């Protein structure tokens, strides 16, 4: 392995000067810089990041913990975060939490062990009151929907606002019996409960009474659980003319489930999702959905975590992404 010392010897300078050249520090004459760069090229020298990290205490890596990387929403998020971090000279390491509180706690611990400089945690299961959840000065940015009470930097989605807009949109299209397909636990503050609140707020704003019988719980944010909820919806025999799904992926499942039962969208039931995953615009019918600004969220999260890396004591802030309601064929 070629070390800095080898390069120094080759170009007839000290290790320190080589280091200065590599890190673009001032105080190196053009002539020496040229010689050193030439020696690096010739020798094929590469910086040893472990040594640098050992000395400097920084890895240049930001962790990104998501529930499952194979869900379109998180794949997109990851792509944006990677791009944004690269622009700031950071590398991104992806962790999977399995959408469980334990996995999320592990991710923090693991991030620390791996010596990531900071962590962006897309939290869905964790309880903000969890005693194991202590920043301890370690730069963590939360990306999710719990209420972290300013204990962490937090980038939130416009869950209530978005779900409310989706619901009033259905009503304005003529729907009166609007079901919601959403998570099975309506306790606490999370994606599921906040979108449910938005749904209720939407009904209220248009003077409709909520009907608890029109809530169809799913155990996970998956295609299959959406389909299965649609079966229950149809088989219940209840009159329904609109469905708000907690996410686009669930909406895709609901759509398939309705089709399996011979129910047409938007003819019999209008359907709206949340997330605006890329596939939404390409479904037939295309899916109306709430589109939070993903790039904005990724950029904000990276901005916050890098700022906190530089100054761990800065005050934490709460930030909510802008959104747009994408009206497409499924609510035509």
| Minimum CB distance to DNA, residue 321 (Å) | 36
Pick one of a second copy, DNA, none as the site partner of residue 96 (Cβ within 5 to 8 A by kind).
Answer: a second copy
- Asked whether position 43 contacts DNA by CB under 7 A, the answer is no
According to CB under 7 A, which one of 51, 114, 150, 259 is a site residue for DNA? 51
Residue that the structure tokens 């109306």 belong to: 288
Residue 121 beta carbon to DNA: minimum distance, rounded to whole angstroms: 24
List residues binding a second copy (CB under 8 A): 46-51, 53-54, 59, 68-72, 74-76, 78-79, 82, 91-94, 96, 112-115, 223, 227, 252-253, 255-256, 259, 278-279, 281-284, 286
Q: Interface with DNA includes 23 (CB under 7 A)?
A: yes
Nearer to a second copy, 147 or 329 (CB): 329
- Token pair, residue 133, equals 């959840």
CA-wise closest residue to 81 among 50, 106, 109, 118: 118
> Residue 253: in which H helix or E strand, if any?
helix 248-260
Q: How far is the CB of 141 from a second copy (least distance, A)?
A: 19
Quick one: which of 4, 64, 82, 250 contacts DNA (CB under 7 A)?
A: 4
Tokens representing 205? 């704003």
What counts of helices (H) and strands (E) characterise the chain? 11, 12
Through-space distance between the first and last CA atoms of the chain, rounded to whole angstroms = 64
- In whole angstroms, the minimum distance from the beta carbon of 5 to DNA comes to 6
Least distance (Å) between residue 1 CB and DNA: 4
Do residues 153 and 142 touch, judged by C-beta distance below 8 A?
A: yes
The one of a second copy, DNA, none whose footprint includes residue 76, by CB under 5 to 8 A per kind, is: a second copy
Question: Which stretches of the chain are assigned E, i.e. beta strand?
Answer: 61-66, 91-96, 118-121, 140-143, 153-156, 178-183, 215-218, 242-245, 270-274, 288-292, 318-320, 323-326
DSSP string of 151-210, one letter each residue: SSEEEE--HHHHHHHHHHHHHHTT--SEEEEEES---SSSHHHHHHHHHHHHHHHTTPPP
- From a second copy, DNA, none, interface partner of 115 (C-beta below 5 to 8 A by class): a second copy
Could you list the residues that contact DNA (CB under 7 A)? Answer: 1, 3-5, 8, 12-17, 19-20, 22-23, 26-29, 31-32, 45-48, 51-52, 54-56
């Amino acid at each position: 392995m070629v070390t800095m010392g080898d390069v120094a010897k080759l170009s007839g300078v000290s290790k320190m000067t080589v280091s200065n050249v590599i890190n673009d520090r001032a105080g190196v004459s053009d002539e020496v810089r040229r010689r050193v760069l030439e020696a690096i090229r010739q020798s094929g020298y590469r910086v040893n990041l472990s040594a640098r990290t050992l000395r400097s205490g920084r890895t240049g890596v930001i962790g990104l913990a998501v529930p499952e990387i194979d869900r379109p929403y998180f794949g997109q998020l990851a792509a944006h975060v990677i791009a944004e971090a690269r622009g700031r000279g950071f590398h991104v390491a992806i962790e999977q939490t399995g959408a469980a509180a334990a996995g999320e706690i592990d991710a923090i611990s693991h991030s620390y062990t791996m010596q990531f400089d900071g962590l962006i945690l897309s939290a869905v299961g964790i309880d903000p009151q969890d005693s194991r959840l202590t920043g301890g000065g370690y730069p963590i940015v939360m990306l999710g929907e719990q209420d972290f009470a300013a204990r962490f930097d937090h980038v939130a989605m416009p869950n209530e606002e978005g779900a409310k807009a989706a619901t009033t949109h259905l009503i304005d299209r003529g729907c009166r019996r609007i079901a919601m397909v959403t998570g099975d636990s309506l306790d606490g503050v999370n994606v599921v409960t906040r979108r449910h609140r938005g749904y209720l707020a939407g009904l209220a704003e248009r003077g409709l009474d909520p009907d608890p019988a029109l809530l169809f719980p799913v155990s996970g944010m998956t295609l299959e659980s959406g389909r299965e909820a649609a079966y229950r919806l149809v088989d219940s025999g209840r009159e329904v003319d609109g469905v708000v799904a907690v996410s686009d992926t669930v909406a895709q499942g609901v759509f398939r489930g309705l089709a399996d039962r011979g129910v047409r969208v938007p003819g019999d039931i209008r359907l709206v999702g949340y997330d605006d995953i890329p596939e939404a615009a390409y479904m037939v019918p295309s899916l109306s959905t709430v589109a939070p600004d993903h790039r904005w969220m990724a950029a904000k999260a990276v901005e916050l975590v890098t700022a906190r890396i530089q100054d761990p004591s800065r005050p934490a802030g709460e930030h909510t992404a802008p959104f747009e309601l994408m009206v497409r064929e499924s609510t035509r």
